[in-house]
Chains A and B, each alone.
Chain A
Amino acid sequence: MTATGVLAGLGRSVLGPLAALGRIVLYAIATLTAALRRPFYMREFLTALLQVGWLSLPVVGLTSIFTGGALALQIYSGGQRFSAEAVVPQIVAIGMVRELGPVLVGLMIAARVTSSIAAEIATMKVTEQIDALVTLSTNPLKYLTVPRVLAGFITVPLLVGVGDVIGVMGGFLVSTEQLGFNRASYIKNTVDFLTRPDITSSLIKGAVFGFIATLIGCYYGMNSGRGAMGVGSATKNAVAAASILILAANFVLTSVMFGS
């Protein structure tokens, strides 16, 4: 391969993802603009609230409780090396609320909701339902994207809040039932240690992750290729892109909120 060929390949591999990111940013701007204009489809919004929020509760709860429990065991076992077993309540609390709660809920939403939105909208595109919406004088961005993205933005912080509480509960159960911690002092240490910025940062991360997860699902669905392969590809790419963007956004938000 010639030097120019290598350079061209390198250029393509850099410019391709940047161009994709640019298209996603433009789609996000179009969605936000559409959200500010009438009409607003309340029924679609309420359905999205149910799908994104309420029906995600079981998966969020199960993920959080097991993670909280495992975290307590890890901190206890690691802490023993330098006689720091007593900090389990504080580390579980800060670990779940600041980091694991929002990230795990974000990734669970990417797996459950982003995939479902991308597959649904891609199927609608393949079966000409999106074209049908246009011919019926309905803007697909307003009818399909805005309600879902708004639902994600509102409900995912609530899910993160629930996930945080359940995760801390998981740590509490393992610590008190298996590791011999006193219940009252565990709760007191947890409550005393957490500060308002810990909780606020968790909810802000949830809102951003909810926005990303739903927006990416809609974007890849709307830009799906043809046939079953197109739907499969859109779903796979949506989940991968949403997961990566959530983790990247988590790093940026953590740097901004706690970097100093």
Chain B
Amino acid sequence: MIELTQVTKTFGTNHVLRGINLTIPSGTSMVVIGGSGTGKSVLLKSILGLVIPDGGTITLDGQDVTKTDRDAFLARFGMLFQGGALFDSLKVWENVAFRLMRGPAKRPKAEAREIAIEKLRRVGLKPATADMFPAELSGGMQKRVGLARAIAAEPEIIFFDEPTTGLDPIMSGVINELIREIVREMGATAMTITHDMSSVRAIADNVAMLHDGLIRWTGPVAEMDASPDPYLQQFIHGRADGPIESVR
């Protein structure tokens, strides 16, 4: 279980997170929604330690993440970055097998390659893709490779940062379905940040809405549409009129 308590983060005069309280139970899929620039990525990166919060605590299974062994902590995570964040200089299979070829769980090269090809197949890519470079792939294929890399070491927790941004609706649907299937079959805890409502409905068990540095609403995805919260209703229906200023 991941638990955030009163997490704050400020950049200069911009108070991005003003005291976030959020719980993500093990084995569930939490989707954090919110407008652009509301601090969704900062929230996700704070959990991973890529951004250091100014205040509050973040715990994983009851242990403060800042006080645990960093390598062991990160070994439990997989992450799909918004732009894929694939390493240009490495072949696709080397990207997927990156963690498998380094560190304490290092595998022989041939075995790591086999696992990489299997993971590529799992996300719908042909084995021939393995020997290509990321720059030779389309945006959708790069996202799939990023997904294959995120699941290669079979992590307990997977983070997805805007998984469908920049993709056409069909490819978005494919990625959403893949994420849902993979999270279910691995029994992983998932946290996704997005403002794509089709992703929310496809991926989420629970939803949290981030607005003005605070969690405005959180609950099961099935209860989202019935919520009377005007901020949530404006966001999920994409209305220009409402309490959320359209010009920020």
Contact = CB atoms under 8 A, between A and B. Distances in A.
Interface string A40-60: 000000010000000000000
A135 B79 contact: yes
A127 B87 CA distance: 10
B48 A137 contact: no
Interface string B42-86: 000100111000000000000000000001001101110111011
A136 B50 contact: no
A132 to B, nearest CB: 4
Interface residues of A, number: 13
A22 B88 CA distance: 32
B87 A132 contact: yes
A78 interface: no
A132 B50 CA distance: 10
A210 B102 CA distance: 28
B103 interface: yes
A136 B77 CA distance: 8
Contacts of B87: 124, 129, 132
A119 to B, nearest CB: 12
B71 A128 contact: no
A134 B45 CA distance: 11
Interface residues of B, number: 23
B171 to A, nearest CB: 20
Contacts of A131: 45, 50, 81, 85
A138 interface: yes
A39 interface: yes
A137 B75 contact: yes
Interface string B86-100: 111100000000110
Q: Is the interface of B mostly helix, strand, loop or mixed?
A: loop
Contact of A138 (B45, B48, B49, B102): B102
A138 B85 CA distance: 14
Contacts of B71: 137
B99 A128 contact: no
B77 A135 contact: yes
B45 A39 contact: no
Given A134-B50, A135-B74, A137-B74, A128 B102 contact: no
A226 B83 CA distance: 14
Interface string A56-76: 000000000000000000000
A132 B74 contact: no
A124 B83 CA distance: 11
Contact of A134 (B74, B83, B88): B74
A128 B81 contact: yes
Given A128-B82, A129-B88, A136-B98, 20 more contacts: A39-B103, A47-B89, A127-B83, A127-B85, A128-B81, A128-B85, A129-B85, A129-B87, A131-B50, A131-B85, A132-B86, A134-B49, A134-B74, A136-B74, A136-B102, A136-B149, A137-B71, A137-B99, A137-B103, A138-B103
Interface of B: 45, 48-50, 71, 74-75, 77-79, 81-83, 85-89, 98-99, 102-103, 149
Nearest 5 A/B pairs, CB to CB: A132-B85, A128-B85, A135-B79, A137-B74, A128-B81
